[in-house]
Amino acid sequence: MKKIQLMKSAMYGFVCLTISCNMQPQSEIDTRVNDLLSQMTLEEKVGQMTQITLDAVGNGKDVFTSNVPFAIDTNRLKKALVDYHVGSIINTTNNYALPPAQWNSIIGQIQQTATQQTRLKVPVIYGIDAIHGSTYAEGAILFPQEITVAASFNPVHAYNMAKTSAYETRACGISWNFSPVLDLGSDPRFSRQFEGFGEDPYVVTVMGEQVVKGYEGMTDSINHPAKLASCLKHFLGYSVPYSGKDRTPAFISENVLREYHLPPFKAAVDAGVESVMINSGLINGVSVHASYDIITKLLKQELKFDGVVVTDWMDIINLQKRDKIAPTNKEAIKLAVNAGIDMSMVPYDYENFSKDLVALVKSGEVKESRIDDAVRRILKLKFKLGLFENPLTKLTDYPDFGSKAHAQLAYDAAADAITLLKNSGDILPLSKTSKVLVVGPNANSMRSLNGGWSYSWQGDKVDRFAGLNNTILEAIRLEIGEKNVRYIPGVSYVENGKYFEEKENNLTGAVAAARNVDAVILCVGENSYAEKPGDLNDLNLSELQTNLAKALAKTGKPVILVLNEGRPRCINSIEPQMKAVVQTYLPGNYGGDALTDILFGDVNPSGRLPYTYPAYPNSIVNYYHKLSEEQKPSEGAYKYESDYNPQYEFGFGLSYTTFIYSNLKISSDVITDNNPIEVSVDITNSGSRSGKEVVMLYTSDLYASITPDVKRLRRFEKIALKPGETKTVKFNIASTDIAYVGLDGKWITEPGEFEISTGNLKSKISYK
């Protein structure tokens, strides 16, 4: 039996580490930084600004291709660290997850070389994409991806995920995490939609703050051995390329950039985040990596960000090779460093980066004061992390690595997030004596449950590493017994050289088997991908999977459609024929268990959609859209409604119980700058099962100088209610909560009327 026995209810506990840390006063760090900087040669400073990939110092035929399993090439390491003073290394694209002990030994070799063989003994800062748990560590607990965590509408899961990930990543000896993604998930076509917290700026803000706290600690204590430095990404406006495809140009006006994209980053910077990664793309034709306005003026000056700004992968080179704004790589380096870049994820050709940047400083094209500013930020981070005192952690200090307690937190997050989107005739929960057919390409795959950035960049090695976890099929078999479960894939994902393709796999057998069961559990969606390889030409669910669903529905047996996908693939042609629809997103290693507990009634679903689920690929509209004209021919006249006719709305999700909203009260119907108002509402569980409700508070500006959004989410809270129980939920709303950004790029609250709504209740206030 594979199943780890987890509690089937959310426990919201935290696991504590007993190792202590000593906080170093800021002034002491500043003195140490200045002292060290004053001893550095220009070449040593430039080395600190250089980040290379692990491949470049590994055994292998060249610096691009390290051997598997990975081993350090001591000559290459010495050349990079001692001869070129390289200050940072990151995880490799070529390799995949390693056991924590091996990570420890690799980081140990790196730190030994840095702190014993270099002149000034400056430790290396190692960075990794541990974005939903310590994703490159064998045996680590993999949580649901950010999009799933957002669907829980319960920020504690964002905190738990980050806290666990920090602990397990530090156990490996790694102290810098390229997470969280705070990009706005407002375009479902984008291949990285699953890496973010969905389409709503407020949800992204709330979740992002919790992640930063989970990684860095509630106070400034990243030298705690269970904390690490986080890295917000990708500043700014990365997630909305015009074509929907990764790293293609975006067009974003300044007011939109500031109102929708900036707030999550600003809140995390205010919370003290240590580093920020820059958007690889172009905004309005400007490469963000060369934008002084965005990096220096907005991020460093306006937001007062005093941490490290790192490029994304090869993005200085891209200024020359892709964006064509610099005729040489040297010119590209000049543009980026002068724009405010502190560290370049080079990641291979560090020799030329060093040579060119040194020459630029010598010729005065880059001021040495700019270099000093960058290096100061980097050294400060290394001191704050305690790397000079403890360049390496000891694995034995981390007894909770991969523990059951951590697994429970990952399960809780998935169970709280999985979203019931349709439940005709209350077909769910299914009885545990049902005979079911489990079918579809996602039914027996740990890879699809986890998605990209899981054990490897593309997530293609998941099934090798997550063998002890349950696929959906395995979890269902454990729940209701093997004899009650038939499994025929119908369609499968088949490896195809570098990536994969879909192939029919006994579709007729699946349809025949469907006739002999009580219900069909059809698991469809996407296989794992990350970044460019995840680009899509058609948002519809694939033709093979759609045909499979249609054929199964034709049998007349109830089909439960389980969605397991990084972004919402359109299902409008099959949805009416499905009895139930359950969205699992990318629920991680315990997602199969959590889904099964929901399907068979051990857990009452309480997730809500963190994005609008579009009905058609050409109808991509966020919930916070503007009104538009819509002429219904049958009704003759124009109606000012909107083109918002999604498959399922943002915030939607069903429960096995029902909730009634009543007694909406506002403390005053006038809001002023000095007088926030309190909104309260009673929620009653009117059904016969315990359940959780996400109470959401929206406001609508009725008239404004710039066409207002139909509504905006301002607050939310998830509450648990027993049958018959009523709770009062209170929210405070300030005048700044109902502001918007004008064409001058400034926030403004305009006098006038605003509607407040929650559930089916509405009220009006005015701002004076």
User: What is the closest distance, in whole angstroms, from the C-beta atom of residue 315 to ligand BGC in the complex?
Assistant: 9
Q: Which is nearer to ligand BGC, 97 or 421 (CB)?
A: 97
Cα separation, 507 vs 525, whole angstroms: 16
Please tell me the count of residues contacting ligand BGC according to CB under 6 A.
Answer: 8
d(CA 23, CA 26): 9
Cβ-based nearer residue to ligand BGC, 233 or 447? 233
Nearer to ligand BGC, 54 or 491 (CB): 54
* Residue whose CB is less far from ligand BGC, 311 or 657: 311
Closer to ligand BGC by CB, 314 or 571: give it: 314
Q: Are 531 and 246 in contact (CB under 8 A)?
A: yes
Nearest distance, CB of residue 96 and ligand BGC, angstroms: 13
Question: 3-state DSSP call for residue 225?
Answer: coil
From the CB of residue 575, how many other CB atoms can be counted at a distance below 10 Å? 18
Contact status, residue 699 vs residue 738, Cβ threshold 8 Å: yes
Residue 233 lies near ligand BGC (rule: CB under 6 A): yes
Distance CA 108, CA 127 (A): 14
Determine if 132 is a binding residue for ligand BGC (CB under 6 A): no
**Of 313, 348, 616, 767, which lies in the binding site for ligand BGC, with binding defined by CB under 6 A?**
313
Between 275 and 606, CB nearer to ligand BGC: 275
Quote the least distance from Cβ 239 to ligand BGC, whole Å: 11
Residue 36: partners with Cβ closer than 8 Å, 6 or more residues away = 120, 122, 379
- Least Å distance, CB 322 to ligand BGC, is 13
State in angstroms the smallest separation of the CB of 664 from ligand BGC. 42
E-state strands within 218-273: 229-235
Q: Which residues 481-540 are close enough to bind ligand BGC by CB under 6 A?
A: 531
Q: Which 93-112 residues touch ligand BGC, going by CB under 6 A?
A: none
> Which one of residues 44, 129, 183, 526 is an interface residue with ligand BGC (CB under 6 A)?
129
Q: Which of 143, 178, 590, 652 binds ligand BGC (CB under 6 A)?
A: 178
Q: How far is the CB of 233 from ligand BGC (least distance, A)?
A: 5
What torsion, rounded to 10 degrees, do the Cα atoms 396, 398, 400, 402 define?
A: -90
Kindly name the residue from 312, 416, 593, 597 that is annotated as catalytic.
Answer: 312
Q: Is 380 in the site for ligand BGC (CB under 6 A)?
A: no
- What sign for the dihedral angle of Cα 651, 652, 654, 659? positive
Measured distance CA(412)–CA(602) in Å, rounded: 13
C-alpha distances (whole Å) from 426 to each of 394, 520, 578, 655 are 52, 15, 12, 10
| Nearer residue to ligand BGC within complex by CB, 499 or 703 | 499
Using DSSP bridges, classify how beta strands 282-283 and 275-278 pair: parallel, antiparallel or unpaired.
Answer: unpaired
618 to each of 72, 525, 645, 650, how far by Cα in Å?
Answer: 49, 19, 11, 17
Cβ proximity to ligand BGC, 157 vs 233, nearer residue: 233
Nearest residue to ligand BGC, scored by beta-carbon proximity:
178
Query: Are the beta carbons of 330 and 360 closer than 8 angstroms?
Result: yes
Question: Contact between 312 and ligand BGC (CB under 6 A)?
Answer: yes
From the CB of 531, what's the least distance to ligand BGC, in Å? 6
d(Cα 196, Cα 170) in Å, to the nearest integer? 23
Binding mask 263-282 for ligand BGC (x = CB under 6 A): -----------------x--
| Residue 71 Cβ vs ligand BGC, minimum distance, rounded to whole Å | 21
Question: Are the beta carbons of 279 and 237 closer than 8 angstroms?
Answer: yes
The answer to whether the CB of 599 falls within 8 A of the CB of 560 is yes
The interface with ligand BGC within residues 633-672 (CB under 6 A) comprises none
What Rg do the C-alpha atoms of the chain give, in angstroms?
26
Residue 157 binds ligand BGC (CB under 6 A): no
Residue 35 annotated as catalytic: no
User: Which residues are catalytic, by number?
Assistant: 312
**Residues contributing to the site for ligand BGC (CB under 6 A):** 90, 129, 178, 233, 280, 312-313, 531
